[in-house]
Amino acid sequence: NIIKILSETGYAISLVSLIIAFTIMFKIKRLHCARNILHMNLFASFILRSFMHILKDALFEDGLGLEKDILTNDDGGRYFHVDFKVNNFECKLIISLVQYFTAANYSWILMEGLYLINLILRALFTDSNKNLAYYISFGWGLPLLVVIPWVITRIMEEDTYCWTTNKNPKVFSIIFVPTLASVL
């Protein structure tokens, strides 16, 4: 319980701080250069990740799923109600968005790194918006190339509970390996 409180507090502080930083960078037009636009996208990915984690923690019961999907037995134990007539779309969507915005964080860190490498390696490279569209497309698009196959695989191979568990490491590796590769 203390870990959940610390996690929620950290996400809340992060969310508020990032919204303030994003707003300042957005409002002050002098700061609108390619580098800061990339920073703003990185901030946006962290804002959305924090928001989705706070939303998930607020809506999910015991980290298992939405309240409507959780049952309590006579012993007081709580478990995820498996009803094959219901696909639990809402909670799977929330988990998919959490995965997407987490992947987007790493993607934007990668975009920032690539941008810095371009600045260093190209002595004549100017800080123009010429390549900015590529960075933005890749920053938000690359996570889709990771999360969409993960969602399809979860539906086909491991459509269990609210996708909050990972019984098959191969399915989780669809997200983990590209994330690890982006850090390296």
Cα–Cα distance list, 16 to 48, 76, 78, 109 (Å): 12, 37, 33, 20
Token pair for 48: 């959305």
pLDDT of res. 9: 94
pLDDT of res. 129: 60
Q: Please count the helices (runs of H) and the strands (runs of E) in the chain.
A: 5, 4
Match 């900015």 to its residue by tokens: 132
pLDDT of res. 50: 96
Match 């607020």 to its residue by tokens: 58
If one counts the domains in the chain, the total is 1
pLDDT of res. 63: 74
Task: Answer for the pair 101, 127: CB distance below 8 angstroms, yes or no.
Answer: no
Which residues span the domain enclosing 160? 2-183
Other CB atoms within a 10 A radius of the CB of residue 63 amount to 11
Long-range contacts for 125-131 (Cβ within 8 Å, ≥24 apart)? 127/33, 127/34, 127/35, 128/34, 129/34, 129/37, 131/34
Q: Tens-of-pLDDT digits for all 184 residues of the chain?
A: 898 899 999 999 999 999 999 999 999 999 888 889 999 999 999 999 999 999 998 898 777 778 777 777 778 776 666 665 566 788 899 999 999 999 999 999 999 999 988 887 765 555 556 678 889 999 999 999 999 999 999 999 888 778 888 888 899 899 999 999 988 8
pTM: 0.84
CATH of the domain at 125: 1.20.1070.10
